[in-house]
Amino acid sequence: MWRAILREPLVHFLVAGLFVFLVVDWMGGAERDDTIRVTQDDILTMMQYRSRAFDPAAFEQRWAAMSNAERQTVIDEYIQEEALYREAQRLGLGDNDYVIKRRMIQKVDFLINNRIRLNESVDSTALIEYYESNKEQYRTPSIVTFSHIYFAGGDGEHRAQELLASSQLNRIKSSKALPYGDRFLYHRNYVEESLSTIGSHFGQDFAEELQALEVNDSEWQGPLTSDHGYHLVLISELSDSNVPPYHELRSRVREDYQRVQSASQKKKAVEALIEEYNILIDID
């Protein structure tokens, strides 16, 4: 009897159809989970990621302040997202997708950052040691405030010296100096600029010459040589580069120290994660 049944074309058709169904289902992905469970935590997580702001307490307040209709809209959006996400998983759309891989890496990175807990009461001795070891990163640049009269061309130095020797020059204040000299590529007046900026406008040699002069806002000095020509300068402020004392930088040092500690803890966490794997490098 079984032999007769197995010879039936209909049985062959049903077996072939079952085989095709199993193959298609296997290629399409895993079995679908038909239950979408919506919790308040899921909703709050979605809201935070959408806003790119991670403050659970603030979003709990926002959720509590919503009307029933507003809440239902958010729930419907979550259900839609979850259904589409599960379908994408079932179809294997995320396989070998580098963009999705990066997004997943970012989420794990976010979780690691959340696990890092820094001690709020940092030992002052540790902060002072950090400050002493990293003083140069707190160095303030040299600052200068000055006006200048520019002289271009081959006779620029002679014209500058001629004006400097005249009795009228020191009666000229910076605001009245515009009619004198030639038009300059950049500015006539520089207020609280770093010497590195001055060097980029005039050349490093000019910046070094300027730094060597005395502050005197009633007497023009020069001529100084720049990459452009010659200059008479009236200096009203010139401060040397320095490192402020620890007590002036305590808050900033604390923030920098904690950032370094956070980066160190994260590095150790990632290294511990990597150690769980066998690494095989197969590169020709």
Task: Give the Cα separation of 77 and 92 in Å (integer).
Answer: 22
Contacts 24+ apart (CB under 8 A), 171-174: 172/220, 173/234, 174/147, 174/234, 174/236
- Across the range 63-86, mean pLDDT stands at 89
Lowest mean pLDDT among 44-48, 112-116, 214-218, 234-238: 112-116
What local confidence, expressed as pLDDT, does residue 191 receive? 92
Pick the residue with more confidence: 112 or 144?
Answer: 144
Helix (H, G, I), strand (E, B) or coil at 239: strand
Q: Average of pLDDT values for 62-77?
A: 91
CA 80 to chain centre: 34
| Average pLDDT of the residues in 218-241 | 90
pLDDT class for 174, splitting at 50, 70, 90? low
Which pLDDT tens digit goes with each residue over 177-229?
Answer: 777 889 998 898 999 999 889 999 999 999 999 988 999 888 889 899 999 99
pLDDT given at position 170: 67
Per-residue pLDDT, 83: 85
Domains and CATH numbers, the chain: 2-97 (no CATH), 98-135+245-284 (no CATH), 140-239 (3.10.50.40)
- What average pLDDT does range 272-281 have in this prediction? 80
Tell me the pLDDT tens digit for each residue of 80-106. Answer: 888 888 888 888 877 778 888 888 888
Per-residue pLDDT, 201: 94
The rounded distance, in Å, linking the Cα atoms of 215 and 221 is 10
Mean pLDDT of all residues belonging to the chain: 82
pLDDT grade for 115, boundaries at 50, 70 and 90:
confident
**Residue 226 carries which DSSP code?**
-
Share of the chain above pLDDT 90, in %: 30
Closest by CA position to 145, among listed 183, 187, 200: 187
Q: Considering only CA atoms, give the Rg of the chain.
A: 36
Amino acid 16: pLDDT: 47
At residue 15, does pLDDT exceed 70?
no
More confident residue, 170 or 75: 75
SS (H, E, C) 121-135: CCCHHHHHHHHHHCH
Alpha carbon distance 192, 115 (integer Å):
44
pLDDT at 22: 45
pTM of this structure: 0.53
Bigger pLDDT: 179 vs 137: 137
Residue type, 223: P
Residue 256: pLDDT over 70: yes
